[in-house]
Amino acid sequence: MNFSFVSDEISTSGALVVTVFEGSEFSSTAERLDKSTGGALRRGVESNRFKGKSGDLLEILAPSGLSNTRVILAGLGKLSELKITDIENLGGKVYKDLAAKGEKEVSVIMDGLKVGSSDDSTLASHVSFGALLRTYKFDTYKTAKKSDNASKLESFTVNCTDAVSAKACFEDLEKVSDGVFFTRQLVSEPPNRLYPETFAAQAKELEALGVKVTVLNEKEITDLGMNALYAVGMGSDKESKVVIMEWNGAPGGAEEKPLAFVGKGVTFDTGGISLKPAAGMEDMKFDMGGAGTVFGLMKALAGRKAKVNVVGACGLAENMPAGNAQRPGDIVTSYSGKTIEVLNTDAEGRLVLADVLSYTQEKFKPRLVIDLATLTGAIIVALGNDIAGIFSNNDKISDQLTAAGNAVDERVWRLPLADCYDKLLDCDAADMKNIGGRAAGSITAAQFLQRFIENGTPWVHIDIAGVAWSTKDKPTAAKGATGFGVRLLDRFVADNYEA
């Protein structure tokens, strides 16, 4: 789809999208179109329950007096409550509706709309971003692609005051969408196609953007002493990998300490010898979602040449039951030297992360570490499928993340860490065990990770088990992999850490 921004006259072909506030209060263009159609828009509104509520769309087909195919009235609700993400959602909904109907062109008219400090040109780029995000479809393995025959929505134009600044803003958002799509694609890939080796190979794509990529193989992993991570992949015929991605965009050069993002990349989680039940096990292809998000984030940041140094570090392994798999009761010595009694082989994500967290801190001395993982089913019990759980030793960074999440509508909610949870991991036979019991499962998982955070390094753990995959369509994403976390962290970086 081709996106463009114009500040001159309104298109006389294709669909026109004009805005209406709550109480059926028409924008100036809606008013003008109503006049030139002999009141067709008002009549349409009156013969429907459309009141201009935020998110509602009303279609007036082939209105007389206009050569356009249709006019879409887009409800914006109350101006005082309107958010920039509502504008993105509007773009996504318009795209989805019109693409399904075989429309070829659409023009959205912003009419000088302002939301907070965002002018209509910024909003123009965001309505386009919303539409763009909605275009992603996982159809790699469909041999007859519907879209090959059907006509496609070809052009998405937005009328706004300053077309040049809208285009400039959109160019950065396009890079963010490249990252989101990369994550969605990786997370959607089936586990017979995407396993540690093929996953790691995908990082090579980032080299073209100036990212330095290092892949550690199983020999290097064991030579380094990453035995906790290695143990997770022992039962698999696929070699485990660690992928390190470095982007140095800070004006101060490579000397500046990086931000570190660490991802859990379990390409399939059967549970291992502590085998999961069969029903729903196929979902465990998205157990590499944390790593998938780190890959997408690196693509977004490098793509838009973010002025910051960042390292992305991911532990990739497949958790299988087999004769050479780790057993419940095994004791492993992690990279940090701390020993772990593995009482449940299904609590494997924390083992993978422990070693990558230690290695990343030691090698890169990052100014902060944020890890992402589809870590616990318990986070879904606590927070459901719309909000991710965060855990942190640092109030400021948690607040920054919460604000970024609210801004991009990838929300996070902080849960506590405390000694009373940490001690549930104490163990007779080793330094710690890898499960804390039934209670507070997401928190004990986070406490486990915190045992691998050294010298108070500012750290946040994001449990994305509930949000990495959606069984329902959303305005800016079809059901399936959401790409949750890419926009959140891109925004977190942009707002707080770029020079």
If the CB atoms of residues 397 and 465 are measured against ligand BES, the closer one turns out to be 465
How many residues bind Zn ion, per CB under 5 A? 6
For position 18 contacting ligand BES by CB under 6 A, the verdict is no
If the CB atoms of residues 260 and 347 are measured against ligand BES, the closer one turns out to be 347
Residue in 348, 355, 409, 490 binding ligand BES, rule: CB under 6 A? 348
For position 303 contacting ligand BES by CB under 6 A, the verdict is no
Sign of CA pseudo-dihedral 344, 346, 347, 349: positive
| Residues 6 or more apart in contact with residue 24 via CB below 8 angstroms | 45, 50, 51, 52
How does DSSP classify residue 286?
Answer: G
For position 287 contacting Zn ion by CB under 5 A, the verdict is yes
φ/ψ of 129, rounded to 5, equals -60, -45
Residue 152 bears catalytic tag = no
Residue in 56, 119, 178, 346 binding Zn ion, rule: CB under 5 A? 346
Contact 345, 274 (CB under 8 A): yes
| Binding range to ligand BES, per CB under 6 A, among 23-31, 153-161, 223-231, 343-351 | 343-351
For position 435 contacting ligand BES by CB under 6 A, the verdict is yes
User: What residues numbered 217-236 form the site for ligand BES, per CB under 6 A?
Assistant: none
Closest-approach residue to ligand BES (CB)? 377
Residue in 119, 120, 172, 269 binding Zn ion, rule: CB under 5 A? 269
For position 465 contacting ligand BES by CB under 6 A, the verdict is yes
| Residues 6 or more apart in contact with residue 59 via CB below 8 angstroms | 70, 71, 72, 73, 97
If the CB atoms of residues 342 and 390 are measured against Zn ion, the closer one turns out to be 342
If the CB atoms of residues 112 and 321 are measured against Zn ion, the closer one turns out to be 321
**413-to-225, 283, 380, 388 alpha-carbon distances in Å:** 34, 24, 12, 6
For position 349 contacting ligand BES by CB under 6 A, the verdict is yes
Q: Give the amino acid at 378.
A: A
Residue in 44, 349, 389, 436 binding Zn ion, rule: CB under 5 A? 349
For position 269 contacting ligand BES by CB under 6 A, the verdict is yes
Residue 350 bears catalytic tag = yes
Q: In 3D, which of 346, 349, 395 has the Cα closest to residue 368?
A: 395
| Binding range to Zn ion, per CB under 5 A, among 39-47, 98-106, 262-270, 433-441 | 262-270
Catalytic residue among 238, 241, 285, 350: 350
234 HSE (CA, 13 A, CB side): 20
471 HSE (CA, 13 A, CB side): 5
Terminal Cα-to-Cα distance of the chain (whole angstroms): 33
How is the chain split among helix, strand and coil, in percent rounded to 5?
40, 20, 40
Give the catalytic positions in this structure: 276, 350
Instruction: Provide the binding-site residues for Zn ion, judged by CB under 5 A.
Output: 266, 269, 287, 346, 348-349
Instruction: Provide the binding-site residues for ligand BES, judged by CB under 6 A.
Output: 269, 287, 344, 346-349, 374-378, 435, 441, 465
